[in-house]
Structure 1
Amino acid sequence: MSKFNKDVGNFISLVTGAKKTMAYRVDQVERKKHKSPILSGFFGMNKIQSLLSKEGATGLRIYYGLDIDGDGKRDKQFVLVATDKDGNDILPSLEKGLAKDASAEDILSTDLWCPYDCPKANPLNSDNG
Structure 2
Amino acid sequence: MEHHRAPPPGRPLPVLAGHSDVVISVAFSGDGRLLASGSYDRSARLWDTGDVRHPALRAVLTGHNAAINAVTFAPGGRNVVTGGDDRTARLWQTDPGRAVTEACATSAPAIRRSEWARYFPGLDYRPPCEGVSSK
TM-score range, shorter chain: under 0.3
TM-score (norm 2): 0.25
More strand by share: 2
Structure number, greater radius of gyration: 2
* Greater length-normalized contact order (CA 8 Å, ≥ 6 residues apart): 1
TM-score (norm 1): 0.26
More helix by share: 1
